[in-house]
Structure 1
Amino acid sequence: MRTAGAVTTWWPWARIAASALGFAAIIGQLALTLSIAAHAKTEWGGHLPTVAANFFSFFTILSNLGAAVILAIAAIWAWTKGRDAAQEPRWLAVTLACVATYMIVTGIVYNVLLRGIPLPQGSTLGWSNEVLHVVIPLFLLVDVLFAPKRRMLSWGTIGAIAAFPIVWAIYTLVRANLIIAPATGEPYWYPYPFLNPHITPGGYLGVAGYIVGIAVAIIAVGAGVVWVARKRAASVVESEAEPATV
């Protein structure tokens, strides 16, 4: 019990540290991106509103931003209303499940599909890239497995988890052909190569295959996150139901 109490005490500090690191990585990369745009020699390359909107159109950035916000909220809750609570409120449990799923999938997709793709030299902060694609995804995985006061989640939570990626995919494909790519001047801009039908084998059919694959991954990881939450919550109920021993 002392071990569980110790985790409950210091886990909010781990969450707030991860949140601060995530915010720092996002801000650092955004500053570099805007700096490059400010020195661009083309009208489209220097159009800061488009560059900023593109930056916040990456699933990685949105997922990390959501994770940083929710982790900070979770830490504040633990220090305030959560002090005497046996478990986290449902809204917090569901949002943590969502951002955990997105970050775990982000880590998998990046390291499987994108890590070897070369980027323009000087366009990416190395430490920020690793934080956003490795460190924060790993922290959220650990959070799912070990964070205290986890609540039992219903299987319907998977629907909530799937909602944002669906909206993001639709937004991305609709917006892509309305934007001039800042780096190249092409009359379209896609945040990831595998979403670009102009270079993906099979065109839109190939893109659809990637989207389906990632959707399956999100649902599978989301189901795993929900299963772990249910398993951990059930084990707490079982331990509390056991008669005390002298």
Structure 2
Amino acid sequence: MRSTTMASVWSAARAVMALAIIAAVVAQLAKSVGTAAELGRDVSVTIVNFFSFFTILSNTAAAGVLLWAVVWYWRRGRKADAEPAPLAVALTCVSTYMVVTGVVYNTLLRNIELPQGSEPIPWSNEILHLIGPVFLLVDVFVGPPRRRVPWSTVWIVAAFPILWAVYTLARGPLTVNPVTGDPYWYPYPFLNPNNTALEPIPGYPGVAVYVVAIAAVILGIGALVVWWRRRTGVGETDAAAAPEQEPAVAP
């Protein structure tokens, strides 16, 4: 998407998507807090739990980075060949997280029955788990303009999911579930070592299987996003894009 007109259209689409994601997150948070207060649940724990979901964190980050990209484009980007390096890395990260969110939810979680009073808002749920991920996937291929990033960016992409998994597994057994009263809380059933339905192995070994599998998906998708940026982008990491230097001639 190199033409100014198309780049401007896509930047407007980024703004709309970011606002839709923010609306979805705020609406779902308001419903969760309202339900918790109405049923006498611990509201503070409910809020912390809400922002402990990878879906919420990845969507919130995606909205922020998309708005960053929009502001940059309209202020400076229309005359630039590529976005600044920090923005390029941030877009690489949130694109990966959102695609992973869509893949994991729609393959493992969509048909899981939730406790009464915990059901998501349908329109919000679709934005956070389907529409947003699809948009960020498309953005990888058509987003304007594009900077190449080094292969080491894959490890930057992996850093947040690793920290989130450590946080989740450490906090889980220390948190009382405000819905069921269980002496543990995990955002997803495949991370809950107390879940007897874990396959192929129950307990922490079963959790480890899922963690390793999802880590492989994150690294794989992150590597594909980096590969595409390196294939189609420009910038100081692109040796071919740099003007060839004339050899120095002694006076």
**Superposed pair shares fold, TM > 0.5:** yes
Provide the rounded CA distance (Å) in 2 between the counterparts of 1:128 and 1:167: 26
Residue 148 in 1 paired to residue 144 in 2?
A: yes
Q: Quote the RMSD (CA, aligned, Å).
A: 2.0
| Cα shift at 1:237 | 9.4
- Within the alignment, does 1:29 sit opposite 2:20 as a pair? no
Asked if structure 2 preserves the Cα contact closer than 8 Å seen for 1:151 and 1:229, the reply is: yes
* 8 Å contact kept, 2:115–2:179: no
SS in 2 for 1:177: helix
Q: What TM-score, normalized by structure 1, do the two folds share?
A: 0.91
Picking from 175, 178, 181, the partner of 1:182 is: 178
Question: Which position in structure 2 is the counterpart of 1:20?
Answer: 19
Q: Tell me the amino acid that sits aligned with residue 165 of structure 1.
A: P
Percent of pairs identical after alignment? 49
Alignment-mate amino acid for residue 168 of structure 2: T
* Separation in structure 1 between the aligned mates of residue 143 and residue 114 of structure 2, nearest angstrom: 36
Give the CA deviation at 1:83: 2.7
Residue in 2 that maps onto 1:158? 154
* Offset from partner CA, 1:25-44 (integer Å, 9 cap, x none): 00010000001100114xxx
- In 2, the alpha carbon distance for the partners of 1:120 and 1:50 equals 17
Aligned to 1:118: 113
Q: Distance in 2 between matches of 1:76 and 1:148?
A: 13
**Greater shift in the superposed pair: 15-24 or 122-131:** 122-131
Return the offset for 1:5: 2.3
Q: CA deviation at 1:81?
A: 2.1
Give unpaired runs (5+ residues) of structure 1. Answer: 242-246
Contact 1:4 1:148 in 2 (8 A): no
1:75 — aligned with what? 70
TM-score (norm 2): 0.89
Q: Counterparts in 2 of 1:198-237, with a 5 A limit?
A: 198-199=194-195, 200=198, 201-233=201-233
How many residues align? The count is 236
Distance in 1 between residues matched to 2:132 and 2:208, nearest whole Å: 28
Distance 1:28 1:181 in 2: 22
- Distance in 1 (CA, whole Å) between partners of 2:19 and 2:220 is 29
In structure 2, distance between residues paired with 1:32 and 1:9: 35
CA distance in 1, matches of 2:240, 2:152: 23
Asked if 2 retains the 8 angstrom alpha-carbon contact of 1:153 and 1:229, the reply is yes
Regions of 4+ moved over 3 Å: 236-241
**What does 1:34-183 align with in structure 2 at a 5 Å threshold?**
34-41=33-40, 46-121=41-116, 123-183=119-179
